[in-house]
Chains A and B, each alone.
Chain A
Amino acid sequence: MSIKSIKVLSRNPDHYLRETKNDIHKVQRNYDPDLHPFEAAREYKLALNAVKLERVFAKPFIGSLAHSEGVSAICRHPSRLACSFTGTVEGELKLWDISHKKCEWTIQAHNGQIWAIVAAPDGGSFFSVGNDKTIKRWSLQRAQEDNDEFPIDTWLCDSIITGITHHRYKNEFVTCGERVLLWDANTKAPKFSYNWSTSGDRNDASVVSIKFNPVETDLFASSDQANNIVLYDTRAKEVKKLKMTMRVNALAWNPMEAFILTAASEDYNVYSFDIRNMNKSNRIVTLHEGHTSAVIDLDYAPTGKEFCTGSYDKSIRVFRTDEGKSRDVYHTKRMFKVNCVLWSGDNKYILSGSSDHNVRVWKARSNQKLGIMKTREHAAMNYAEELKRKYGHFPELRRISRHRHLPKHIYHATLEHRVMKQSRARKEANVRRHSKPGTVPFIPARQKPVVGLEDDETNMPGSSVDHENDT
């Protein structure tokens, strides 16, 4: 025989099969690329599946918390993640345990609408302001224990207060209304009154919203009925006043990049300002479009990467801070105008209070799986996310991931607004074409909503004309 040496493939099945039924199956891997053909095409198909599944599982609505009246204010609990306060237009204040959808405490806090609720930084109390010209401070401990119906402190004012915000750590808070007042929690009288806004007509200068900056803690911003956004510094005075073409309903600071101030405007848009560039033309960093009616409220996610807005068009939108179009839109058949929104502290839920007597709880990411996940499940989700990132720009995938079903009124309003926008652009182009070159300047969309800025050095352009228009 002339065989010197021979070896033939002969596998021992015991090495490839599990020993008992209780064992897991043995899985031999060989990463040789030749054994894995069509890698890119198969990945593409998996990415397509992932995008489709994302839309299949996109069911953001979790539940609703019923009130007896329209909800007007909402606030995070200072120490418990699963709890939040809500206030109604009839002055009822409730503390909710959201994980159990249970109301823990109810009280008639004010006569008339509760305009705002804010938690004190000490974690033991919170403030509410109402239509009855009072500021009330409530103890959390008492609220939980003996159902005490009395606030621990009450401040009386001479005019209605429409907003309140608390300093990050000092015992100071600012209220707004006809005047912007700085209070020390230990004294009964306001510490300081800011009156830049009230220099004009009393009625239209009423301030609607006010917010302390969480990082640059002495800075706060307000927006008023006269379309102004005003920046204040408690150590000095008013810093800057920016006049917009339309009223700003709510303000929010980005909790991570505190130089970004986001304003929900009456003109259906949301604007993100860089307050470092307030004097320059590039002050609006991003213009967030999508709503088809006035935007009433907004709130940032604690990560500072996203925020949600509630609008008069009965919908909630979720925006990424650096993108102009909304990432998602939430709506239900029964939800009416949204008065207030809140992003939960664990970055998982969005709460919205609307005038149909309900607070609704939504998932922050509509396809998110709730509850405990196994490691393999996590891995599968992460893989799907990565695939979506890799192949998301393909037209087929983009179309599926971008598509949202919209209620009829929003759908038609969007179409209508598009036509209006086009027609305005066409008209402007026509005017430009038929006038002397250079007389009709190109104004970028980000500069259009701003009328002008006023601070120590600059004055509002044509301020006298503005006043005439106001009256």
Chain B
Amino acid sequence: MMASAVTEKKKKRMRGKKPWQKRNILQSEVKDGVRITEYNSISLREIKKPSTHIYPGRKVIDPKLLQKYSKGEGVEVKSIGYKNKYLAHKLKEKEKAFQEAEAAAARAEILLTETSGQLLAEDDSYTSHITQRDIRDAVDITSAAKSFDLNLNQFGPYKMRFTRNGRHLVLGGRKGHLAAMDWVTKKLHCEINVMESLHDVCWLHTETMMAAAQKQWVYIYDNQGIELHCLKRMDRVLKLEFLPYHFLLCAANETGYLTWLDITLGKEVIRFPTLKGRLEIVCQNPYNAVLCCGHSNGTVSMWTPNSREPVASILCHPHPIKAIDIDPTGRYMATAGLDRVLKIWDARNLGECLQSYSVGSGASSVKFSQKGLLALAMGNVVEVYRNVTNGGASEPYMRHKSGSTIRDMQFCPYEDILGISTYHGYSSLIIPGAGEPNFDALEANPYISLSARKESEVKALLSKVPAELITLDPHSISQVDTPRLQEKLDAKISLLHIRKPKIDFTPRYRMKGKSGSAQKFKRKQKVKEDKQREFLQAAILQRDQFMEEDKKNKKEKSKPVEILDRFKPKKKS
């Protein structure tokens, strides 16, 4: 029995390994107690023919490109331990699938057809000296047609907004002029006068609906200018934002109220006062759908519909803030204050300022483009900078002087266009290298057909993200919820300070005079005491165990005992 067991064990051990193989051995025999082995002179490797392929295997992916498509570091299988082989195997397979997905996405980059725009000046001149007229003359006719001016000197100053696919433009004049157009084909959808002051305009999820913040309330119009809704819960609004993945219309008003409204249900999600005064400088973070507000005390506060307190607040300038913007990837935040300083911040790790530039005069508006260019409006001048995030913006990339003071501007998504709206109209400027050259048709498609738009609207509604999921870290839902240090401390404290639980017990009715009030009370008291005693005993036991473990840990951490330690003064316990 024993012998057989031993051999079985051996077999088990051997199972994982390859059996010993003859390698290049011609002959091997034992002569007079000595093993004599003849080796083959030619090794196997030499016999093997060299590979006939010129390009063996698949093309190696550039690690930088892989980094771009990375889905995170992944699980360390070692940390789980090899005891649970099944789980380890499962995790390994999953990691493999993730890596394959990353590689496939990186390889698919070869299919992207368009390349980014660019502008180079002659050696003795600067790109900032190139005027829009020069550019118009140099580029092809369709691109030149994209640069145009609209003279609207009656109802200004104007606010403006592009749709998410960059195809449509809405203009709203302070004196009530509201116009929507397909700016590429120059086809006007509608043009109305709302006969009230107009503070802000905003597209909803498609180009068929837009919201306008008017004198008293917010109105929703369709693209023919027909009033669809009047939102009386949003009053005296100065700034509108639309969160496209959450279908939330956000409004910031004169008295400091923030409102989130679910446009699919027409229901208000939440409305609360920020207690920070007039809210005019508001932008959304496209990465996590958090609203960022700039205040007159120099702070920027970030708000979600899930908390009445700001989720983050940061002192950016010692002076009132004039403009803020967050880049489309959600990595950087730009703030401009009245102190003529432009600052770049890490939007995900708010702390110290990444870059600080002093600009000529107070900027009234800042805007990031999809490719990371930063436009800065100062009076009637707009300057565009490159590489602002890594300190390379010593001089502007482009510069343009408009006829009147600039009120609002925005880079057109997926185009090399910067739209600026002024006191006396609108003009679009060609800024080469501003837009993302390759769009994803399932997210935003400038060439979308009617049926595809309907389809995508349904798809978008089905994947509408609940408002409760708006947090600073949008990936938090896919991560393990580990207790924070404070929670750990609280758990520790709750162990040390035991509180008697409240016990709610109603004694059953009993016959034969056993349910008099005194009897009942006695019975109740007894049950209560029993339960409480039980609880306390268990809790004390737990606490003692915890303390013991703590002591053990401390002992282990202390230095090993040495011979001379005996002469040290004894510790008082």
Contact = CB atoms under 8 A, between A and B. Distances in A.
Contacts of A5: 118-120
A448 interface: no
A26 B445 CA distance: 11
B441 A3 contact: no
Given A3-B119, A10-B142, A37 B330 contact: yes
B441 A2 contact: no
Contacts of A41: 245, 465-466, 469, 474, 477
Contacts of A29: 108, 111, 440-442
B430 interface: yes
B449 A25 contact: yes
A10 B134 contact: no
Contact of B432 (A7, A26, A37): A7
A38 B287 CA distance: 7
Contacts of A445: none
Interface stretch (B122-130, B256-264, B377-385, B560-568): B122-130
Nearest to A3: B138
A29 to B, nearest CB: 6
Nearest to A25: B452
A15 B438 CA distance: 12
Nearest to A12: B142
B69 A13 contact: no
A28 B125 CA distance: 38
Given A9-B416, A10-B140, A33-B68, A38 B465 contact: yes
Most buried by B among A15, A26, A30, A34: A30
Interface residues of B, number: 67
A27 interface: yes
B222 interface: no
Most buried by B among A5, A8, A27, A35: A8
B437 A9 contact: yes
A419 B494 CA distance: 32
A201 B416 CA distance: 95
A43 B120 CA distance: 43
A36 B286 CA distance: 10
Contact of A35 (B138, B440, B446): B440
Nearest to A34: B329
B62 interface: no
Contacts of A36: 440, 443
Interface stretch (A44-52, A54-62, A111-119, A232-240): A44-52
Interface in B446-498: 446-447, 449, 452, 462-466, 469, 474-475, 477-478
Contact of A1 (B137, B443, B447, B474): B137
Nearest to B70: A33
Interface in B404-419: 414-416
Most buried by B among A5, A26, A28, A43: A28
Given A3-B119, A32-B438, A40-B478, 10 more contacts: A4-B120, A11-B446, A16-B446, A27-B441, A27-B442, A31-B440, A40-B475, A41-B245, A42-B245, A44-B465
Per CB-CB distance, the 8 closest pairs between chain A and chain B, nearest first, are A2-B125, A40-B478, A31-B105, A16-B447, A4-B120, A30-B440, A30-B438, A27-B441
24 contacts: A1-B134, A2-B124, A2-B129, A2-B130, A3-B119, A3-B120, A6-B117, A6-B139, A8-B140, A9-B414, A11-B114, A11-B446, A16-B446, A26-B441, A29-B111, A30-B438, A35-B439, A37-B474, A38-B245, A40-B475, A41-B465, A41-B477, A42-B465, A49-B462
